[in-house]
Amino acid sequence: MSEFREQVVDFVRDLQSRIVSALEAHEPQMKFKKVSWERPGGGGGDTRVISGGQVFEKGGVNVSVVHGQLPPKMQEKFKSKTTDFFATGVSLVIHPRSPQVPTVHANFRYFEQAERAWFGGGADLTPYVPAPELFRHFHSCFQKACASYALDAYTRFKKECDEYFFLPHRGETRGIGGVFFDYLEGDREKTFEFVKKSGEAFIEAYIPVVEKTKGLKYSERQKKYQLIRRGRYVEFNLIYDRGTLFGLETKGNTESILMSLPPEVHFDFQADLETNEEERQLMGWLKKPVEWADAQT
């Protein structure tokens, strides 16, 4: 393994540990379980999972370090004459029990294929209750991380996030967004520094949200609403998500790939998601994304 690959692997493993520690601080009676796995075609990883927690109903923080041969379908996608590849990254999804606490997703990854190498990643928030102040905080953390990379980085990556996590068949986004970037090539060291800052920004962005919302009371309707909205999460991950599709195409660890799915979901026929002002406000934001970092909403 090259020196640069080792640096990236060390980064994703360290970030995994720090994120798990930060989350465990809010689950004093439960710890994340470590499950290691191997990929038949080369490499492997380990998944830290939690299930049935008081705050986190289900969650996983996965690290993968894989290499080998791209399947023909993926080789065609990358328009490459060679099949060798190397990929490493950390990915996570946390599904809190309370609808007051937003679901969160993040991943930071590095990929080499033939003569090309690039970084990708991002983080996004999926709330079930309107909380504009917390949404501004989440976005502002990533806006700050992006500032050191390029003046327009946050604007571009925020827009890409809104577009990527859009469900065309529903006409709405999965959540209130964050940042999303892919195929970042060019200055490798500069880009790596940006990815590291983004990983740090995730902890700064999400943990305070958990602290402020985990003790709030919620109604039966808010819980029902959460379960229906989780259905949208499932729809996106199984139909559109690149990471899910890539993992399955390259014969990754199925359990780790599907760890993103929530433990309980409602798929109600013609579910009404705008039964009160709170729901109408949130749905309005999902249908027309807001510039949260600069918003006065």
Q: What share of the chain is helix, strand, coil (3-state, %, to 5)?
A: 45, 25, 30
Contact predicate 105/205, CB 8 Å: no
Measured in residues, the chain has a length of 297
State how far the Cα of 145 lies from the Cα of 206, in Å rounded to an integer.
Answer: 14
- Give me the mean pLDDT over the 87-108 stretch: 98
Question: Which residue did the predictor score with more confidence, 22 or 82?
Answer: 22
Contact predicate 143/150, CB 8 Å: no
Task: Please report, rounded to a whole number, the percentage of residues in the chain having pLDDT higher than 90.
Answer: 84
Q: What is the pLDDT of residue 82?
A: 74
Tens-place pLDDT, residues 178-195: 999 999 998 999 999 999
Hey, what are 41's tokens? Answer: 């075609």
- Give me the mean pLDDT over the 160-164 stretch: 98
Per-residue pLDDT at 6 exceeds 90? yes
Residue in 20, 15, 11, 18 with CA at minimum distance from that of residue 48: 20
- Catalytically annotated residues: 105
Hey, what are 17's tokens? Answer: 């540990």
Hey, what are 207's tokens? Answer: 């943990």
Per-residue pLDDT at 199 exceeds 80? yes
Q: Is the CA virtual torsion 162, 168, 171, 173 positive or negative?
A: negative
State how far the Cα of 159 lies from the Cα of 157, in Å rounded to an integer.
Answer: 5
Q: What is the pLDDT of residue 114?
A: 79
Confidence of residue 296 (pLDDT cuts 50, 70, 90): low
Confidence of residue 28 (pLDDT cuts 50, 70, 90): confident
Per-residue pLDDT at 56 exceeds 70? yes
Q: What is the pLDDT of residue 80?
A: 66
CA 177 to chain centre: 10
Q: Name the average pLDDT for the chain.
A: 94
CATH of the domain at 177: 3.40.1500.10
The type of residue at 151 is L
Per-residue pLDDT at 78 exceeds 70? no
Lowest mean pLDDT among 11-25, 79-93, 139-153: 79-93
Instruction: Give residue 263's domain range.
Output: 3-294
Per-residue pLDDT at 297 exceeds 60? no
Q: What is the pLDDT of residue 87?
A: 95
Q: What is the pLDDT of residue 243?
A: 86
Tens-place pLDDT, residues 121-146: 999 999 999 999 999 999 999 999 99
Helix, strand, or coil (residue 232): helix
Residue in 105, 124, 54 with CA at minimum distance from that of residue 260: 105
Tens-place pLDDT, residues 247-284: 888 888 898 889 899 999 999 999 999 999 999 999 99
Q: What is the pLDDT of residue 295?
A: 58
pTM for the predicted model, two decimal places: 0.94
State how many domains the chain has.
1
